[in-house]
Structure formats: C-alpha cells, structure tokens
C-alpha cells in the first residue's frame, strides 16, 4: 500500500470522494437508477441489468424476477471489514468493523506490552546483577556425547559469551534465543554437538509475577556453576529507554 493511500485513505474513482471506492459508491448507484428512469429498460436493458448485478435489488426495492433473478446471483455482496490481528488474538467481537492498522485493541496491547517490558528489563537488571547471571557466567549442562567409541551422558561446562539484550521483552520469553554459550570441555571426537549454542532467557531472570502468566517461560536446562563479576558487561546503557520491537502474532 502506498504512503498516500495509508495517509489519506481510499478515493472513489467515480465521484472522487474519500472513504470509499467505486464498488460501494452511492453516487454511482444513483446514477444507474437515474438512467433506468431515463432510458426504456425494455429497449435498452443494460442499465437495469447493471443495477441488479450491483445491488441485487430492483430500483423500487423489490426482488428481481425472470432473467433478472439469474443476474442477481452474480451480485457482489458487501463484505464486512475484519481485523486479522483480532482474529489471531481471538479477541471478543471477532474484530469486525476495522482492520489491523486501525485496530484499537492492538494499540492498547502495544502500550501494555511496552510498559511491561520496561518493568521486566528493570527487574532483569536487578536480578542479573544480584545472581551474577550474564556475560562471563559459567554454566553446566548434561549432554549425550560421543567419546570416540560410544555415546555417554556427561556434564559439559560452558561460558556465556553473548547476551542479546534487545531480544528480551514480554513477547519473547519462550522459544527465542537470548544467551549464547561456548562449551569448554566437549570431547575432541564429538561431532553432533556444536561448540557454541544459543538458549532462551534464563528462568532465574524472570520475575515470579511475570512467570505466572505462562507455562515454561524461559529455560532452566542450564545450571549455574560460577557467577560473573560483571554480568551486565554488554548491556546497553540506554537499554530501558531504547525502542522496543515486539513480536506480534499477526
């Protein structure tokens, strides 16, 4: 959609008024009705056929009969606008009467999520510093590894080498990689486990009030082995104020 259309809306190609198109233009419908009165429908049935095909009715509001009844079957039915965002979110009312761009529910959702995200980020800053979880933390996990002759369960130690701070918001608390771990003691013969892996946000970072909103938010597969002396090393100074890009369903 062009910038002009987004800014000013639809313009009718018949009457040039804003807010509708030729298909729904009442002025064009009146024009057809006028021509039916002016021209003999028996001699020139074009206008009445066009009117019936457009409206599904006769000019006097009655139901078409005969050949005109067949033409009525091809009449275009006016469709109700429906918001795709409301449909995806299963909003009450079904999202009729507006679209995604003008959706009032989506605007409220954005405002709520951005407010909650800033509260979440502030809580994470406090918890990460207090728990020592972040850049440079040592973590341990249990993996099924190949040692050259067979597969065995063994513990592997890794270091958090990256935190994607901008990926942390209330819409990305599940199935969104946030931290990157570099494994330190993988067997030299191991060919199936990458030396560097990404994981969801640590569950220990998520405040209890937020964790109650959904099942299995974050991940707890990684266990803390050693605290970091500076877990917020790579956290941007304007992290709380910078623009937030939410992950929408639609």
CA distances from 163 to 86, 128, 136, 185 (A): 33, 12, 10, 21
Statement to judge: residues 59 and 117 lie in one domain: no
Question: In this predicted structure, what is the pLDDT of residue 55?
Answer: 85
Q: Provide the domain limits for residue 121.
A: 105-226
Is the pLDDT at 85 greater than 60? The verdict is yes
pTM: 0.64
Q: Is residue 194 part of a domain?
A: yes
CA distance 201 to 174: 8
Question: In this predicted structure, what is the pLDDT of residue 215?
Answer: 66
Residue 239, C-beta contacts closer than 8 angstroms, at least 6 positions apart: 121, 125, 165
Strand partners, 180: 162, 198
**Contact of 201 with 104, CB cutoff 8 Å:** no
Which residue spans within 147-230 are E strands per DSSP?
Answer: 151-163, 179-183, 196-199, 223-226
CA distance 83 to 94: 8
Question: In this predicted structure, what is the pLDDT of residue 79?
Answer: 61
pLDDT bin (cut points 50, 70, 90) of residue 60 is: confident
- Quote the number of domains for the chain: 2
Q: Is residue 96 part of a domain?
A: no
Give the other-Cβ count within 10 Å of 97's Cβ.
12
Q: Is residue 250 part of a domain?
A: no
Q: Is residue 100 part of a domain?
A: no
């Amino acid at each position: 959609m062009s910038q002009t259309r987004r800014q000013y809306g639809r313009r009718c190609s018949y009457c040039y008024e804003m807010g509708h198109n030729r298909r729904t233009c009442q002025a064009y419908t009146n024009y057809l009705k006028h021509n039916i009165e002016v021209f003999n429908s028996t001699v020139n049935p074009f206008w009445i056929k066009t009117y019936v095909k457009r409206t599904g009715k006769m000019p006097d509001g009655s139901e078409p009969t005969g050949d005109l009844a067949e033409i009525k079957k091809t009449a275009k039915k006016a469709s109700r606008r429906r918001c795709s965002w409301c449909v995806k979110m299963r909003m009450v009312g079904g999202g009729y009467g507006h679209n995604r761009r003008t959706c009032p529910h989506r605007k409220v959702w954005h405002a709520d999520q951005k407010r909650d995200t800033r509260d979440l980020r502030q809580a994470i800053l406090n918890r990460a510093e207090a728990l020592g979880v972040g850049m440079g933390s040592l973590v341990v996990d249990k993996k099924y590894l190949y040692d050259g002759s067979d597969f065995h369960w063994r513990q592997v130690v890794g270091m958090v080498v990256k935190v994607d701070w901008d990926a942390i918001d209330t819409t990305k608390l599940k199935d969104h990689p946030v931290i990157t771990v570099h494994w330190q003691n993988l067997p030299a013969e191991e060919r199936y486990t990458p030396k560097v892996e990404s994981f969801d946000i640590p569950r220990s970072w998520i405040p209890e009030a937020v964790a109650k909103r959904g099942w299995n938010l974050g991940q707890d597969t990684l266990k803390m082995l050693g605290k970091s002396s500076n877990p917020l090393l790579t956290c941007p100074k304007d992290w709380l104020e910078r623009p937030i890009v939410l992950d929408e369903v639609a």
